[in-house]
Homo-oligomer: A and B are copies of this chain.
Amino acid sequence: MAKSKRKPKKASVSANRVAELAGVSRSAVSRTFTDGASVSAETRAKVLAAAERLGYHVNHLARGLIHHRSGIICLIVAEMQTPYQAAFVDMATRRLQAIGKVVMVLNATGQPANVEAALRQTLNYRADATVVVSGSPPASLIETCIENGQRVILINRDDAAAGPHVVMVDNDTAAREAMLMLRRAGCVRLAVISSTAGTPSIIARERAFAAAAQEQGLEVQIVRAGPTGYAAGADGARQVLALSSRPEGVFCTTDLLALGFMDAARQEFCLRVPEDLCVIGFDDIPEAGWLGYNLTTFRQPIEEIVSQIAQILETEDEEDTGPRCLPVQVVWRRTVRP
């Protein structure tokens, strides 16, 4: 009588009905739809015909019940409307579908509690694996996942020590390279435009850039004007360019920050890029290549990251191969003087 009570509509057609119509046993139907099972061509044909006529589709819920694996991969993600995350989800769904998986997207935007709720769903649906792109899941829940035979794959977040698989990108090398690029362009006063999000990736980029600069005896100003995004980049520009000695070279920890920064620099401070100011981003989102920006940046190897995920999924053994670190590639465009 509760509000959640729904009438079961029309029961969907089951293997029983197909078997009946085809004049074979239910097992035969099952085997027809199971790879590698032993069925004669004749019965197979009969079954397929009957299935087609009735609109039968194997119930993956029941199948998952038996196999202890549902074929579902959970993707825990937040801020999905940002270009980088969107591109990632796009690529991931495509690749994982190609290897016969299906992706359940759990949006963990907002409170950290949402990550926990998302991870719970993962367990409820007996997902084959969980890919965490955003947010930091509580260690206890990760443990539960693993104890239940589930795999957890962390992308660009090395905080959780052992257990889950980790795929990350070589933020350090990239950030150091960025510093050298600005240095070679003749920039002396440097700044990092970053965000208050404080994700492992962003922190790593800030730190590595600052460390590299310090080794050269250069001072770096770090500005975090808000949550990662265009607006924070623009605000960062307003903070940093109003100073008497404005920076000549800027490393933005995200492309979106870089684009906001450049727009504010040009519109509100009448600065030219790269003549007055060199800018480097990170991610290589599509917008970075637009005519108005031509942002020099580092390409996140999304395809490779997803390939690593696919590879982990297809590997039998639970060997902890340690974190996999992928190189990033610099994309030269026109916001840094050569």
Contacts and interface: CB of A to CB of B under 8 A. Distances in A.
Interface string A1-44: 11010111111110000000000000000000001100000000
B102 A290 contact: no
A58 interface: yes
Nearest to A13: B148
A102 B81 contact: no
A83 B81 CA distance: 7
A276 interface: no
Most interface-central of A60, A70, A291 (chain B CB within 10 A) = A291
Nearest to A259: B290
B126 A61 contact: yes
Nearest to A66: B8
A147 B10 contact: yes
Given A59-B126, A64-B61, A292-B263, A109 B80 contact: no
A97 to B, nearest CB: 6
Given A36-B2, A61-B64, A65-B65, A103 B105 contact: yes
A272 interface: no
B107 A104 contact: no
Q: How many copies of this chain does one complex carry? A: 2
Majority SS at the chain A contact face:
mixed
A184 interface: no
A147 B55 contact: yes
A216 interface: no
* Size class of the A contact interface (CB-based, 8 Å): 35 or more
B124 A57 contact: yes
A144 B56 CA distance: 9
Interface string A80-100: 111101110110011001000
Interface string A46-69: 000000000101111110110111
A89 B105 CA distance: 9
Contacts of A310: none
A246 interface: no
B97 A107 contact: yes
10 contacts: A8-B149, A10-B147, A57-B144, A59-B124, A83-B86, A94-B109, A97-B106, A103-B105, A104-B105, A263-B290
Interface of A: 1-2, 4, 6-13, 35-36, 55, 57-62, 64-65, 67-70, 72, 79-83, 85-87, 89-90, 93-94, 97, 102-107, 109, 117, 120-121, 123-126, 144, 147-149, 230, 234, 259-260, 263-264, 266-268, 286-287, 290-292, 316
